[in-house]
Amino acid sequence: MASLFPSLVIMFGVVACGNKPGAAKGSAVVEGCDATHDPSPAAVYAQYLAQGGEAVEAPELVRVLYEKKPTDRFEVIYDPGPHQPTPSLGTVYKCAFYRDAANLARAMVLDAGWATASTDTRKQIALDTDWIAFGRGMNTVPTNWSADHTFHAPEVVALADGRIQITQWRNHPKMISYRDGSHEDIYVREVRTFAADGSVSEVKKLTAYNAGAPKHEDFRSGSLR
């Protein structure tokens, strides 16, 4: 099923974030961001600090990167230069900065019609949102998968208390060298739930193992995640 999040309008190369909203739970409105102005790195960094973020060595290296699909948003990273890690600082969604991915996920599910959606629609909204806010799960078996572990595609179920539960494998790569991109794949089976009010639980890790370096075909096919 296609993502249920509608694309926002792009005008003259500027993302239409919508009129400046009131801040949703766990977020803060980015000063100067509106339907005709992208969020500036300086304004986003100010909100990052205001939400308790640790100061970076060179604030001028904070980058705000537009991500159109599957839903319009800006990913905020710290980019110190070649062959260095580029940690995520948070996300700007509808001109509000979210440092915490769970708060971002709640805002997204509510915007997608969570409050009045059917159970089947909520299941799709939850999976779409989980992959945006927390990273893609694994749909297919990677070539370096160990036969000692059973692979399952993402499982999305409605619980008796109204929560939507997602159980899936997710890759958390361990970097070996930022210079050449070499890494080991750490496959983790996780459970996360979305409550009736849209709030998101802490992730529960069921099992994990180190599958070692990926094979070349995984790089080409994008099946690592």
pLDDT of residue 2: 47
Note whether 192 and 166 are within 8 A (CB). Answer: yes
217 three-class SS: helix
Helix 101-111 / helix 119-134 crossing angle, nearest 10 deg: 140
Average pLDDT over residues 198-214: 95
Average pLDDT over residues 201-207: 97
Q: Report the distance separating Cα 63 and Cα 81, nearest Å.
A: 11
Q: Alpha carbon of 23 to those of 30, 66, 89, 110, 194: distances in Å?
A: 9, 20, 18, 14, 21
pLDDT of residue 216: 60
pLDDT of residue 119: 97
pLDDT of residue 113: 97
The pTM for the full model equals 0.82
pLDDT: which is higher, 221 or 114: 114
Q: Report the distance separating Cα 44 and Cα 76, nearest Å.
A: 8
For the chain, percent of residues with pLDDT exceeding 70: 84
pLDDT: which is higher, 217 or 59: 59
pLDDT of residue 61: 97
pLDDT band at 11 (very low <50, low <70, confident <90, very high): very low
Average pLDDT over residues 146-150: 95
Average pLDDT, the chain: 86
Kindly write down the DSSP assignment for every residue of 68-107, as one continuous string: -SSS-EEEEEE---TTS---EEEEEETTEEESSHHHHHHH
pLDDT: which is higher, 116 or 218: 116
pLDDT band at 5 (very low <50, low <70, confident <90, very high): very low
- Over residues 162-181, the pLDDT tens digits come to 999 999 999 999 988 888 88
Phi-psi group of 99: left, alpha or beta (phi > 0 → left; psi -120 to 50 → alpha; rest → beta): alpha
pLDDT: which is higher, 36 or 117: 117
- Over residues 118-144, the pLDDT tens digits come to 999 999 999 999 999 999 999 999 999
